Structure 1
Amino acid sequence: MYLQQYEVSMTILDYFYPRLKNYIDFDFTDQLSPPRLKKDGNYYATYVSEIRQEHAVLSPDRCSVVLKEIPASLTEIYRKISSRWSPYIETVYGVLSENGHSLAINEFIQKPACLSYPTKELLEMRSLTLEDFILKMRTLSEKEALIFLLQLCEALENISELSLVHGDVSPQNILLTDVLPLNSQKQQPTSSTGKSITELCRNVAVKLIDFDIAREEKGSHHMVTTVAGTNPYAAPEILDYQTPTDRVDIYSLGCVFAFMLTGKSPKQMSREEFQSSLSKSVRKIINKCTADYSRRYKDVTHLKKDISALLSTSTMPVPEFFHILPGLRSGKPLEICIFSLIYCALFHLLIFLICPSPSLAWILPAVAVSVILTTDVFHLGRHFAFYQLCLEQQPEWCYLFKFLIGFVLPFTVLRMIS
C-alpha cells in the first residue's frame, strides 16, 4: 500500500482493508495529508481513494472519498455528523470502529470547475480552501462575503442541532466547491471575477470541514480546559482558559467574514485599517461576533437575521449609463425610490406641458404607478417571463426594464383614458 514508511499510521487503514476492499479501489489511494500527532500520542493520516465503479451508481462523476484515521475519542462525534446532511458541511458517509481503531469515510470535496485559475499551483490543486482563494486569487465583494457567511451559518446551525461545537472555524477549514446542479447539464467554466456581483455565489458554495477538535456543546457554566483552534480566528476564551465555549464558533465567523473582505483577520488589522477597509454595516456585524462573550450573538440564528437584513438592503445592479443621473449612482434602494419619484414627477409634468390632458390630477396617479413599477416595491416583476430571464442572465438590465416600463406604461394609459 501507499507510504509504508508510516507504519503506525498505516496499520489503522490496513486494519479495515478486508472490510473495504470490495468497495474501495486501494490501487488509487493517495495520501491527502501527512500523519499528525494527536494528544493521545498516536499518529493519524488522511487518504483520498476511489469508490469502485460498480458501487458509484449514485454519483458516477464524484466517486472519490476521504479515508480519515481518527482517535477513538472522536468516533461518536463523527457518527453524530454522519447522521446529518447539509450542502455546507463535509459529508461523513460513515465511521468504522473496532478494537480501539476508528476510520471515518468522508466526502472528497473537489475544487470548483467553474473558476479560472491564474497559476499552475492552483491548477494542480484538487481542493481549494477559502484561504487559498482569498490570498492567491482575490478578496470577495461585500455581497459575496455575506452569502458565503450565510452558508456557514447554515452549517453551524446544523452542527449546533447535534449539540456540537466545531471549535476551529477558519479559512483553512472552509473549502470551495461547485454548487450542486439541479439538472444534468454541466456548468460551463467562467471567469472567477464574473460579470455580475453574484456570479461567483451562483456557481460556487462553501463547505465546512475538519471536526477533529469538535466537542459536545456545554452550558454557560462550562470552563475551557484545553487550547485548540487557529489563533487568528479563535475566541479569547479558548486561548485564555476562561469563559464559556458555546459561542466560540460565532467569534470565528466574524473573523472569517473580515478575512473574506480584506485577506486579514480583525486580530491582524490596526484599528484604522479596520475602520477604513470595511463599511459601517459590516463592522457592526463583525464587532458583535467578536465582542465579549456576554455581548456576542447568542446563536447563529440571530446572526443570520442580521445578514439577511443587510443582504436585502444591499445595492441594486444599475446599468453604467444610469450613473449620469444623480440619485441613481449609489444603487441604494431608498435613494433610488426618492429620486425615481422626482424623475417620474418631472417626466409626467413635462409630458403634460407638451400634450395637455383634461386634468392635471391625472399626473398624481401616473407618478404613483411609475414609482411602483420603477422600484418594483411589490415585486411585480416576477410575473413577467422576460424580467425573469433578465434576472437570471443579466441582472443589471432588470433595472432598465423596470425603469422604462415605469415611465412608459402610466403615460400610455393616461393618454388612452384622456
Structure 2
Amino acid sequence: MSELAQKLFVWNTEELKALSESNAIVRNEQSGEIMIKKRLDNINVEIMQKLCSIRHRNLAAVIKVTKENGSFYSYSEFVPGRSIQSYIDEGKIFSEEEALKIALQICDGLEKLHSNGIIHRDITAANIILSYDGNVKIIDYGIARTAKENASRDTYILGTAGYAAPEQFGFSQTDERTDIYAVGVLVNMLLTGKFPNEEMCSGRFKRIVKRCTSMDSSDRFSSVNELKSELSGPKVFLKNDDGFPGFRSQNLIIKILASLIYFIIIFIDCALVSSTYTGKGLFRAVLQCVNLTVAFAVPFCLICNPYDIQGKIKHFSAMKDSTKIAIRVIFSIIFLLGGFFIMLSLF
C-alpha cells in the first residue's frame, strides 16, 4: 500500500476502553496494535498531521490522522506505564536524582518539538508517562500550537491551572519559555508534591525552579537547551544552598574542617579588636569590631549564600548566572578592600 493510500485508509478499530467523550484506547483490527484514538478540533488537525512525521524516544508518536464520519481523529502510540500524577496522588516524593533524570528526558522531548516549531503548552504531571522500561514519554498534544514570531498573543486561551504560564491567559504570545515554565512547576511537583506557590522545593533545584517559573518570560531560560545545560552542568551550579556553609554536607570531615576555619577567622577578628582596644581605646575597638564583621559577613553571604539568603531577595534568583557572579565578585571585592583600609586607619 502506498504512503498516500495509507494516509487515506480508515482503520477498523475495536474500542477497548473509553477514556473520555473524545478519547479511547483502541486496537487496530488489521495489525493488532494498541493505540489512543482522539477526536480532534479543527484547529488541532494541522498540528497533529505535522506530528505524524516526528519521532523521538521521549515523545508519544502520532501515527495517523484520519477523517471519519465528518470528524477528524488522531491515532497515537499507547505508552504502557503510569503518569507522574498517579504517583503523586499516592503521595510519592521523588528524589533529586529521579527528578533530574525525568526532567532531562522531558527537555529532550521538548527540544525535538521546539526544533520543529511546535509548542506543547500542556506539560503537566498527568501528561508525562513513566513507562515500565524506565523511559519518559510526553503525551497529549491537544493544545499544542506552532510558534508564530509576529503574533502578539495567542488566539485561544488554554492550559492547565497551576502549570499554565501567565502568557497562556492572554497577556502575550506563548513560545518555548511557556513549556519551560511548566517544566519548572513539574520539577517542583516531583520534589514536593505541591505547586511552587504552595511550597517551593529546597536544595539544588530551588534556584532553577524559581527561574523557570518567573512571571516575566524574559527572566526564564531562553531555550530548553539552556535549561538542560543548567540541569546537567557541574554540581557547583546545582549546589544545595539550604543550611550553613560547611554543614550542608553529611560528611563529618568537612564539618570538622569548616568548624576549624570558622574558629580561626573568629580568633583573628578577636585578636585585631583586642589590639585596637589596647592601642586606641574602647571606642575604636567597637568600630573595628563592626568594620571586621561587615567586611567578612557581606562577602561570606555573597559567595557562600547561607540559608539561601540570595534566593529570598526579590528578582535575584531569576537573574542570569553571569550577572549574579559579577554582582558577587564586585561587591565582595568592595567590602573586603574597604574593610582592610578601615582596619588600618583604626590602628
Task: Please give the TM-score of this superposition, normalised by the length of structure 2.
Answer: 0.63
Q: Give CA deviations for 1:128-154 in whole Å, capped at 9, x if unaligned.
A: 211111221511100110110000001
Quick check: 2:230–2:237 contact (8 Å CA) kept in 1? Answer: no
Give, as a single letter, the amino acid of the residue that structure 2 aligns with 1:231: A
Q: Do structure 1's residue 283 and structure 2's residue 206 form an aligned pair?
A: yes
Match of 1:305 in 2: 229
Q: Give CA deviations for 1:308-365 in whole Å, capped at 9, x if unaligned.
A: 01569889xxxxxxxxxx99x7479x96xx9xxxxxxxxxxxxxxxxxxxxxxxxxxx
CA distance, structure 2, for counterparts of residue 225 and residue 69 of structure 1: 21
Alignment of 1:38-49 (within 5 A): 45-49=22-26
Indicate which of 50, 54, 77 corresponds to 2:27. Answer: 50
CA distance, structure 2, for counterparts of residue 261 and residue 169 of structure 1: 16
Aligned-residue CA RMSD (Å): 3.1
What SS class does the counterpart of residue 266 from structure 1 fall into?
coil
Quick check: 1:143–1:311 contact (8 Å CA) kept in 2? Answer: no
Give, as a single letter, the amino acid of the residue that structure 1 aligns with 2:220: R
Indicate which of 66, 73, 98 corresponds to 1:96. Answer: 66
What SS class does the counterpart of residue 226 from structure 1 fall into?
coil
What SS class does the counterpart of residue 48 from structure 1 fall into?
strand
- Structure 1 residues 311 and 143, CA gap change in structure 2 (3 angstroms): farther
Q: Do structure 1's residue 32 and structure 2's residue 18 form an aligned pair?
A: yes
Match of 1:106 in 2: 76
Deviation at 1:222, TM superposition (A): 2.5
What SS class does the counterpart of residue 20 from structure 1 fall into?
coil
Q: Do structure 1's residue 68 and structure 2's residue 22 form an aligned pair?
A: no
What SS class does the counterpart of residue 251 from structure 1 fall into?
helix
What SS class does the counterpart of residue 268 from structure 1 fall into?
coil
CA distance, structure 2, for counterparts of residue 219 and residue 331 of structure 1: 51
Match of 1:162 in 2: 116
User: Between the two proteins, what is the percent identity of the paired residues?
Assistant: 28
Deviation at 1:217, TM superposition (A): 0.9
CA distance, structure 1, for counterparts of residue 186 and residue 63 of structure 2: 27
Q: Do structure 1's residue 136 and structure 2's residue 106 form an aligned pair?
A: no
Quick check: 1:232–1:268 contact (8 Å CA) kept in 2? Answer: no
CA distance, structure 1, for counterparts of residue 28 and residue 69 of structure 2: 25
CA distance, structure 2, for counterparts of residue 148 and residue 110 of structure 1: 17
CA distance, structure 2, for counterparts of residue 48 and residue 221 of structure 1: 36
Match of 2:316 in 1: none
Match of 1:10 in 2: none
Quick check: 1:75–1:97 contact (8 Å CA) kept in 2? Answer: no
What SS class does the counterpart of residue 111 from structure 2 fall into?
helix
Quick check: 1:96–1:102 contact (8 Å CA) kept in 2? Answer: yes
Q: Give CA deviations for 1:63-106 in whole Å, capped at 9, x if unaligned.
A: 31111111232111111111111111111111113685211111
Q: Give CA deviations for 1:390-413 in whole Å, capped at 9, x if unaligned.
A: xxxxxxxxxxxxxxxxxxxxxxxx
Match of 2:168 in 1: 238
Q: How many residues in Structure 1 have an aligned counterpart in Structure 2?
A: 242
Alignment of 1:385-400 (within 5 A): none
Q: Give CA deviations for 1:216-248 in whole Å, capped at 9, x if unaligned.
A: 112265313432111111111212x21331121
Indicate which of 193, 209, 212 corresponds to 1:263. Answer: 193
CA distance, structure 2, for counterparts of residue 147 and residue 331 of structure 1: 25
Deviation at 1:256, TM superposition (A): 0.3
Deviation at 1:249, TM superposition (A): 0.5
Give, as a single letter, the amino acid of the residue that structure 2 aligns with 1:90: A
Give, as a single letter, the amino acid of the residue that structure 1 aligns with 2:16: D
**Runs of 5+ unmatched residues, structure 2:** 1-6, 240-245, 258-347
CA distance, structure 2, for counterparts of residue 221 and residue 262 of structure 1: 36
CA distance, structure 2, for counterparts of residue 178 and residue 157 of structure 1: 23
Quick check: 2:11–2:28 contact (8 Å CA) kept in 1? Answer: no
Q: Give CA deviations for 1:93-132 in whole Å, capped at 9, x if unaligned.
A: 1111368521111111112xxxxxxxxxxxxxxxx21111
CA distance, structure 2, for counterparts of residue 310 and residue 131 of structure 1: 30
Q: Give CA deviations for 1:184-230 in whole Å, capped at 9, x if unaligned.
A: xxxxxxxxxxxxxxxxxxxx222111111111112265313432111
Give, as a single letter, the amino acid of the residue that structure 1 aligns with 2:185: C
CA distance, structure 2, for counterparts of residue 298 and residue 220 of structure 1: 18
Task: Please give the TM-score of this superposition, normalised by the length of structure 1.
Answer: 0.53
Match of 2:266 in 1: none
CA distance, structure 2, for counterparts of residue 34 and residue 55 of structure 1: 24
Q: Do structure 1's residue 153 and structure 2's residue 112 form an aligned pair?
A: no
Q: Give CA deviations for 1:21-78 in whole Å, capped at 9, x if unaligned.
A: 2xx4x2xx2333221xxxxxxxxx11112234x735xxxxxx3111111123211111
Match of 2:183 in 1: 253
CA distance, structure 2, for counterparts of residue 98 and residue 110 of structure 1: 27
Q: Give CA deviations for 1:160-187 in whole Å, capped at 9, x if unaligned.
A: 11101111111111111123xxxxxxxx
Indicate which of 10, 17, 25 corresponds to 1:19. Answer: 10
CA distance, structure 2, for counterparts of residue 260 and residue 91 of structure 1: 25
What SS class does the counterpart of residue 77 from structure 1 fall into?
helix
- Structure 1 residues 252 and 314, CA gap change in structure 2 (3 angstroms): closer
What SS class does the counterpart of residue 148 from structure 1 fall into?
helix
Give, as a single letter, the amino acid of the residue that structure 2 aligns with 1:150: L
